[in-house]
Structure formats: C-alpha cells, structure tokens
Amino acid sequence: MKKTRLRRWIRILYKVFLFMFFSNLVYVVFCKWLYPPITLTQAYYIAESHLHGTSTIKRDYVPYDSISANIKLAVIASEDLRFGAHNGIDWKAIKKAREFNSKHRDSVVFGASTITQQTAKNVFLWKGRSYFRKVLEGYFALMINAVWGKRRTLDIYLNVIEFGKGVYGIEAASNHFFKKKSAYLTEEESARLAACLPSPQTLNPLNQSKNFMDRVAQIKDLMAFKSSDPDLEAIIYQ
C-alpha cells in the first residue's frame, strides 16, 4: 500500500516537473524573438509603487544593434569578465568566490553571479535570497544560454536590468541620466552606468565621490583590457 502511494506521488511529481520544464522552455523560446512583456522584478516594483503612491517604472526596449558598443563592453567589464567563455554559470568564479569567502568571513561576501544568471533572475524569478532560488537561477541560466546564445542574453540583460530606482533598461537609463539615446553613450558614461549595477537604487551615475570614481576608472581599465577579446568582439560587434 505504501509503495503504491509512493509511486503515485513520484508519477505526480514527474508530471509536474515535465509541465514546468516545457512551460519554461516555451517562454524562453518566446523571449528569443520577442522581449518579455514584463519581468517579475518590474512587476514587483510596479506593485510596490502603487502601494506607496510613488511613480511607476521608466522602461523603453531598444534593439541590440541600436545600443552603443561602449555599454555592452562596460557591463561585461563590470559584471562578468568571462561572459564570452562560460556556459551561463562561471564555475571557476564560483570556486574562487567560495575560497575568498571562507578566508574572509568578516568582510563583504564576494559573489560570482554571471550576466546570464542576473538576466535569469530579473526575467523569471522573484526578489529575495534563498538556496532554492539560487538553484532556479542556475537552471534558467543554463537554459537561456543554450536557447538564446550570448548576443540575445546580453540584449535582454541590457533591456531589463535596473540602472536606477524604477529605471529599467539601458535606453530609459541613458535618457534619464544623460538625456540621450543609448546608441550615443560614451565610454565614460557607460562606465558610470555599469558602476551602479551592484546597487542601482542607491548609486547614481552622476556621482562624483572618490569611491565611485575609482570604480569607474577600474571599469574603464577592464574595458580596455577586454576590448580585443575575440569572443567578446563576436558578441558585441557582429
């Protein structure tokens, strides 16, 4: 009797897994060709804005070829130096992060989230921190890396990522902070926007503080270092 009940539950869980997998796959394929109507991150902000009576989001999707190469290189330099080499999850960076965090338990935790994982988190998942959510983030990262490829992943990332409080996507950020289209972003402006990504609700690309400008300078140095990377050239320019 117990074995029969266990088998029934296993069959139910298996069917649920298949349903979820194919549902997710269909939406991922949909987003390969069309931008997501709304992300869970944006939906959360809209709901919170209505609750507190604050302003709604600023968002304006723009085609990949209409985005400056400077900001494409800047976010890679800032967030994911091995973007062109990994399969959506940077296992080497995860290993280094674990080693660093185990040796520096009293300091700031060092992360290893790739652009692909950040895209998965913003498009498909809710806000918060948990091991279960991190597993789902990895699951979606592997799926979108396989289905979308690098160019489309970077395209979606730049169009949905938060650059300021309620400011989503590079076109809205460029207009909001620099009063120009994202196609015309300079190296300096791109580095400033990328420097805000760790904490977009508290950092501002117009900031002139020493710590912020040091971060901008570091990103510009990394941009120069990665500018001739053949893997990135294929993603950014071709």
Beta strands 167-168 and 58-59, pairing class? parallel
* pLDDT value of position 109: 46
State the pLDDT at residue 1.
59
Q: What pLDDT shows up at residue 129?
A: 75
Closest CA to 223 of 75, 109, 74: 74
Q: Could you list the residue range(s) of the whole structural domain that residue 2 is in? A: 1-34
Residue 55 and residue 108 in one domain: yes
Contact 83, 232 (CB under 8 A): yes
Residues 19 and 40 occupy one common structural domain: no
User: Do 161 and 186 fall within a single domain?
Assistant: yes
11, pLDDT greater than 90: no
Residue type, 181: K
Output the CA–CA distances (angstroms, integers) from residue 237 to 23, 98, 153, 230, in the order listed. Answer: 33, 34, 15, 10
In this structure, the answer to whether residues 69 and 167 fall within a common structural domain is: yes
Other beta carbons within 10 Å of 136:
17
Mean pLDDT of 202-211: 92
pTM of the model: 0.88
Distances, alpha carbon 9 to alpha carbons 1, 5, 48, 78, 191, in Å: 13, 6, 38, 46, 52
Say how many domains are in the chain: 2
**236 DSSP assignment:** H
- Token pair 């390969």 is at which residue? 32
Q: 85-141, pLDDT tens digit by residue?
A: 999 999 887 777 666 555 555 554 445 689 999 999 999 987 777 788 888 999 999
Q: Are residues 209 and 159 in the same domain?
A: yes
H-helix or E-strand spanning residue 59: strand 58-59
Q: Which DSSP letter does residue 164 get? A: E
- The reply to whether 172 and 78 lie within a common domain is yes
Both 141 and 207 in a single domain? yes
Q: Are residues 136 and 181 in the same domain?
A: yes
> How many of the other CB atoms lie within 10 Å of CB of 64?
14
Rounded CA-CA distance 205/164 in Å is 9
Nearest to 160 by CA among 72, 41, 7: 41
* Residues 2 and 89 grouped into a single domain: no
pLDDT above 90 as % of the chain:
57
CATH number at residue 210: 1.10.3810.10
Q: How confident is the model over 215-228, as a mean pLDDT?
A: 95
The 10s digit of each residue's pLDDT in 161-196 is 999 888 999 999 999 999 999 999 999 999 999 999
Residues 120 and 216 in one domain: yes
Enclosing H/E stretch for 75: helix 69-79
Ranked by mean pLDDT, the top range of 4-13, 30-39, 70-79 is: 70-79
The secondary element (H helix, E strand) that includes residue 144 is helix 131-160
* Residue 82 shares a structural domain with residue 47: yes
* Arithmetic mean of pLDDT, 227-238: 88
Question: How many whole angstroms separate alpha carbon 79 and alpha carbon 63?
Answer: 21
Residue 60's SS3 state is coil
